[in-house]
Amino acid sequence: MTTDSSPQSSRTLSRRTEIIFLVIYCICFSFGGFAHLMDLVVNQPLARTTGPAPGTTLPFVWNVISTSFALFNPLTVVLLLVRRQAGIALMVAVTTLVFVMNLELMVQWWIQARYVHYKWLYLNGTLGLFQLVTAPWMWRTAAARSAAQSASPAMAG
Protein backbone atom coordinates (compact mmCIF):
# COMPACT_ATOMS: atom_id res chain seq x y z
CA MET A 1 0.00 0.00 0.00
CA THR A 2 3.03 2.24 0.11
CA THR A 3 4.12 4.40 -2.78
CA ASP A 4 7.28 5.98 -1.33
CA SER A 5 10.65 4.30 -1.59
CA SER A 6 11.40 5.11 2.05
CA PRO A 7 11.56 2.15 4.41
CA GLN A 8 8.48 1.79 6.60
CA SER A 9 6.24 -0.82 8.09
CA SER A 10 3.75 -2.47 5.75
CA ARG A 11 1.11 -1.66 8.37
CA THR A 12 1.48 2.09 7.83
CA LEU A 13 0.75 4.25 4.83
CA SER A 14 3.12 6.26 2.71
CA ARG A 15 2.89 10.02 3.17
CA ARG A 16 1.28 10.36 -0.26
CA THR A 17 -1.43 7.76 0.44
CA GLU A 18 -2.07 9.24 3.87
CA ILE A 19 -2.59 12.69 2.33
CA ILE A 20 -4.91 11.31 -0.36
CA PHE A 21 -7.08 9.60 2.28
CA LEU A 22 -7.00 12.73 4.43
CA VAL A 23 -8.14 14.90 1.50
CA ILE A 24 -11.03 12.51 0.79
CA TYR A 25 -12.10 12.55 4.45
CA CYS A 26 -11.90 16.35 4.64
CA ILE A 27 -13.88 16.85 1.42
CA CYS A 28 -16.61 14.47 2.58
CA PHE A 29 -16.92 15.97 6.06
CA SER A 30 -16.79 19.51 4.67
CA PHE A 31 -19.63 18.65 2.30
CA GLY A 32 -21.58 17.07 5.18
CA GLY A 33 -21.00 20.07 7.41
CA PHE A 34 -22.14 22.42 4.65
CA ALA A 35 -25.27 20.31 3.97
CA HIS A 36 -26.22 20.25 7.66
CA LEU A 37 -25.51 23.96 8.02
CA MET A 38 -27.74 24.73 5.04
CA ASP A 39 -30.43 22.53 6.59
CA LEU A 40 -30.25 24.72 9.69
CA VAL A 41 -30.54 27.87 7.58
CA VAL A 42 -33.50 26.58 5.55
CA ASN A 43 -35.33 24.83 8.39
CA GLN A 44 -35.77 25.93 11.96
CA PRO A 45 -33.28 24.08 14.18
CA LEU A 46 -34.91 21.30 16.17
CA ALA A 47 -38.39 22.23 14.90
CA ARG A 48 -38.78 19.49 12.30
CA THR A 49 -41.09 16.68 13.36
CA THR A 50 -42.13 15.16 10.05
CA GLY A 51 -40.15 12.78 7.91
CA PRO A 52 -39.69 12.95 4.14
CA ALA A 53 -42.91 11.11 3.30
CA PRO A 54 -46.50 11.67 4.44
CA GLY A 55 -47.19 9.78 7.64
CA THR A 56 -43.54 9.65 8.75
CA THR A 57 -42.22 11.38 11.85
CA LEU A 58 -38.74 12.45 12.89
CA PRO A 59 -38.02 11.69 16.55
CA PHE A 60 -36.71 14.67 18.52
CA VAL A 61 -33.50 12.86 19.52
CA TRP A 62 -32.63 12.22 15.85
CA ASN A 63 -33.43 15.85 15.06
CA VAL A 64 -30.98 16.95 17.78
CA ILE A 65 -28.29 14.58 16.52
CA SER A 66 -28.80 15.61 12.89
CA THR A 67 -28.56 19.26 13.93
CA SER A 68 -25.35 18.54 15.86
CA PHE A 69 -23.68 17.34 12.65
CA ALA A 70 -23.48 21.01 11.60
CA LEU A 71 -20.90 21.30 14.40
CA PHE A 72 -19.34 17.83 14.45
CA ASN A 73 -18.56 17.58 10.72
CA PRO A 74 -16.41 20.76 10.64
CA LEU A 75 -14.87 19.79 13.99
CA THR A 76 -13.90 16.45 12.44
CA VAL A 77 -12.12 18.25 9.60
CA VAL A 78 -10.20 20.48 12.02
CA LEU A 79 -9.18 17.54 14.22
CA LEU A 80 -8.11 15.48 11.21
CA LEU A 81 -5.76 18.31 10.29
CA VAL A 82 -4.34 19.16 13.73
CA ARG A 83 -4.87 16.08 15.96
CA ARG A 84 -5.01 13.17 13.52
CA GLN A 85 -5.99 10.35 15.90
CA ALA A 86 -8.67 12.45 17.64
CA GLY A 87 -10.01 13.35 14.19
CA ILE A 88 -10.08 9.71 13.10
CA ALA A 89 -11.90 8.72 16.30
CA LEU A 90 -14.51 11.48 15.84
CA MET A 91 -14.85 10.63 12.15
CA VAL A 92 -15.63 6.99 12.92
CA ALA A 93 -18.01 7.98 15.73
CA VAL A 94 -19.92 10.43 13.52
CA THR A 95 -20.19 7.95 10.65
CA THR A 96 -21.31 5.17 13.01
CA LEU A 97 -23.96 7.46 14.49
CA VAL A 98 -25.18 8.36 10.98
CA PHE A 99 -25.53 4.66 10.17
CA VAL A 100 -27.37 3.86 13.42
CA MET A 101 -29.71 6.82 13.02
CA ASN A 102 -30.55 6.13 9.39
CA LEU A 103 -30.98 2.39 9.85
CA GLU A 104 -33.40 3.06 12.71
CA LEU A 105 -35.27 5.59 10.55
CA MET A 106 -35.46 3.05 7.73
CA VAL A 107 -37.24 0.63 10.03
CA GLN A 108 -39.41 3.29 11.67
CA TRP A 109 -40.56 4.87 8.40
CA TRP A 110 -41.22 1.48 6.84
CA ILE A 111 -43.46 0.58 9.78
CA GLN A 112 -45.19 3.99 9.77
CA ALA A 113 -45.84 4.50 6.07
CA ARG A 114 -44.17 1.74 4.06
CA TYR A 115 -41.61 4.37 3.04
CA VAL A 116 -38.14 3.12 2.04
CA HIS A 117 -35.48 5.54 3.34
CA TYR A 118 -32.42 4.88 1.18
CA LYS A 119 -31.10 8.22 -0.13
CA TRP A 120 -28.55 8.48 2.68
CA LEU A 121 -26.84 5.30 1.45
CA TYR A 122 -25.27 6.87 -1.64
CA LEU A 123 -22.93 9.25 0.13
CA ASN A 124 -22.85 8.00 3.71
CA GLY A 125 -22.70 4.35 2.68
CA THR A 126 -19.80 4.95 0.32
CA LEU A 127 -17.94 7.01 2.92
CA GLY A 128 -18.64 4.39 5.60
CA LEU A 129 -17.22 1.59 3.47
CA PHE A 130 -14.19 3.70 2.58
CA GLN A 131 -13.59 4.43 6.27
CA LEU A 132 -14.04 0.78 7.22
CA VAL A 133 -11.10 -0.06 4.96
CA THR A 134 -8.89 2.99 5.45
CA ALA A 135 -9.39 4.23 9.04
CA PRO A 136 -7.39 1.41 10.70
CA TRP A 137 -4.42 2.17 8.41
CA MET A 138 -4.77 5.88 9.05
CA TRP A 139 -4.89 5.25 12.82
CA ARG A 140 -1.74 3.09 12.77
CA THR A 141 0.06 5.57 10.53
CA ALA A 142 -0.86 8.51 12.76
CA ALA A 143 0.29 6.59 15.84
CA ALA A 144 3.58 5.62 14.18
CA ARG A 145 4.25 9.18 12.99
CA SER A 146 3.43 10.56 16.43
CA ALA A 147 5.73 8.06 18.12
CA ALA A 148 8.53 8.77 15.64
CA GLN A 149 8.11 12.51 16.12
CA SER A 150 8.23 12.28 19.91
CA ALA A 151 11.30 10.02 19.74
CA SER A 152 13.12 12.37 17.39
CA PRO A 153 16.28 13.91 18.92
CA ALA A 154 15.32 17.32 17.55
CA MET A 155 12.07 17.16 19.49
CA ALA A 156 13.81 16.08 22.69
CA GLY A 157 16.26 19.01 22.71
Q: What is the pLDDT of residue 2?
A: 47
How high is the mean pLDDT of the chain?
90
Tell me: pLDDT of 86 over 90. yes
Q: What is the pLDDT of residues 3-47, one digit of tens each?
A: 444 445 568 999 999 999 999 999 999 999 999 999 888 888 777
Tell me: pLDDT of 1 over 80. no
Q: What is the pLDDT of residue 114?
A: 95
The model carries a pTM of 0.86
Contact 81, 87 (CB under 8 A): yes
As to burial, measured by CB atoms within 10 angstroms (0-12 exposed, 13-18 middle, 19+ buried), residue 154 is exposed
Round to whole Å and give the CA distance between 130 and 45. Answer: 30
- 39-48, 63-72, 91-100: the lowest-pLDDT one: 39-48
The DSSP letter of residue 11 is T
Going by C-alpha positions, the residue among 83, 71, 85 that lies closest to residue 29 is 71
Tell me: pLDDT of 64 over 60. yes
Round to whole Å and give the CA distance between 129 and 123. Answer: 10
Round to whole Å and give the CA distance between 102 and 62. Answer: 9
